[in-house]
Amino acid sequence: MTNYRMIVQYDGTRYNGWQKQGDTDNTIQQKLETILTRMIDGSPESPVDVHGAGRTDAGVHARGQVAQFRLETDKTPDEIRDYLNEYLPDDIGVTSVAVAAPRFHSRFNASQKTYLYRICKDKSYHVFDRKYLYEYRGSLDTAAMKVATIQLRGEHDFRSFCGNPRMRKSTVRKLYAIHIIETPDEIDLEFIGEGFLQYMVRILVGTLIEVGEGKRDPFSMKELLEAKDRNLAGPTAPARGLTLMEVKYN
């Protein structure tokens, strides 16, 4: 079978996340698998398997999700892309399809992922961006938040920022950078890392917001990391503010 790689964009507002689930077909992965299986006249009992680079949560968006799948077809990569876009819902789109190396895997071979979290701080109502912003509508001390990010960079055990209390695999992750960009209307937090735990970015955002509010010492991140206790970190920020922007491979 030929191995293919595609880039997918989606508005995650009305979906139960990327990963397919047994009790619903309302996931991004399920939508893609259903259409690809139909394209090759396959059986629903043996669907085409689609693997995403990141398992985004319910309500989280993507501009540069990378996915990989194997199948036999006479269609060219562009024809596969066009077939998908013809039958996918309007809030899911495939921007490109290409033949990948036989051993390429979208998740296991990923070397860097970039997520963007947008916080709205002004008082106006943003009609066209409301599904992609956390409407915090308050002031935050971004200087203090930037101090806190320094302690979070690098390779650490991020168990305190993991949303899965039953996580048995390693919770050590490498965070290359956190950029905080402030404009008159919003505060954007960009997270660049090797990989992320469940809800990790959103818990980091919730914790940094508490720093910005003055509720948490910006120099307490090292202690929080060492505690390895989710209960000590901040709340999980709303999903709608988060977008998977890009996935890179060595």
List active site positions: 57
Sign of CA dihedral 56, 58, 61, 66: positive
* Residue 71, phi then psi, degrees to nearest 5: -165, 165
| Integer Cα distance of 105 and 3 in angstroms | 9
CA dihedral 70, 76, 79, 81 (to 10 degrees): 40
| Integer Cα distance of 151 and 148 in angstroms | 6
Please classify residue 19 by burial: count the beta carbons closer than 10 Å to its beta carbon, then call 0-12 exposed, 13-18 middle and 19+ buried.
Answer: middle
